[in-house]
Amino acid sequence: MTDEEIVDGCLKKNTIAQKLLYDKFAKKMMGVCLRYCDNQEEGEDVLQNGFINVFENISSYKGTGSLEGWVRKIVVNTALTNIRKNKKMKHNIELEQVEYTLTSSNDMGDSFAVKELLKIIQTLPVGFRTVFNLYAIEGYSHKEIGEMLGISEGTSKSQYSRAKGWLQKIVQEHK
């Protein structure tokens, strides 16, 4: 079934089409959720809410751009809503104020596997992690991030810089 047929089926509330859409993107979107969430359970909740939002708003998909990109945007926005709802966003966290732990792994070698990188990203404070994901992975500008999160562009840049420093320090310690 093509993306257009899947979308058309979802518009008609066809459960088979909805399952096809979910099956096509759930694994990738779970990866997106885990980058914004503290753990697997929270990620699963955000994924579920994200797909509810996808199905409720499928009529706003105009067929321009990729369906995956549209679904990703909905899931990212759902993750951001989750962060705001839980009031976990810390706008100005000093690196020295935060302690982190990461168990060392003997099989990490010279490079990290995706799972190890995800674990490291999850150790970032929520503010750092959110800005890092939006800027480095999703490709938003600091101005857009500021508007999305209700922070200044400068705060976004500062959070991103601190997140990079945090990640570099962890990677260096585990080499």
94-151: pLDDT as tens digits: 433 443 333 333 344 444 567 787 888 888 888 899 999 999 988 999 999 999 998 9
The pLDDT-based confidence of 170 (bands split at 50, 70, 90) is: confident
The pLDDT value recorded for residue 107 is 41
Please say whether the beta carbons of 124 and 83 come within 8 A: no
CATH of the domain at 123: 1.10.10.10
Judge whether residue 84 has pLDDT over 70: yes
Please say whether the beta carbons of 113 and 105 come within 8 A: no
Answer yes or no: do 81 and 105 share one domain.
no
Q: Which of 25, 49, 27, 32 is nearest to 133 (CA)?
A: 32
Last residue of a domain, one of 85, 119, 138: 85
Whether residue 163 is contained in a domain is answered as yes
49-75: pLDDT as tens digits: 999 999 999 999 998 889 999 999 999
Answer yes or no: do 100 and 68 share one domain.
no
Q: What would the DSSP string read from start to end of the chain?
A: --HHHHHHHHHTT-HHHHHHHHHHHHHHHHHHHHHHSSSHHHHHHHHHHHHHHHHHTGGG--SSS-HHHHHHHHHHHHHHHHHHHTT---S---GGG--------TT-TTS--HHHHHHHHHHS-HHHHHHHIIIIIS---HHHHHHHHT--HHHHHHHHHHHHHHHHHHHHHT-
Answer yes or no: do 18 and 60 share one domain.
yes
Residue 164 structural domain? 95-173
User: What do you get for the CA distance between the two ends of the chain, in Å?
Assistant: 46
Answer yes or no: do 114 and 151 share one domain.
yes
Give the sign of the dihedral formed by CA 52, CA 53, CA 56, CA 57.
Answer: negative
CATH of the domain at 35: 1.10.1740.10
1-50: pLDDT as tens digits: 899 999 999 999 999 999 999 999 999 999 999 999 988 999 999 999 99
Please say whether the beta carbons of 38 and 45 come within 8 A: no
Answer yes or no: do 9 and 80 share one domain.
yes
The pLDDT value recorded for residue 100 is 38
86-95: pLDDT as tens digits: 865 444 444 3
Judge whether residue 157 has pLDDT over 90: yes
Number of domains in the chain: 2
The pLDDT-based confidence of 175 (bands split at 50, 70, 90) is: low
- The pTM score is 0.72
Please say whether the beta carbons of 55 and 10 come within 8 A: yes
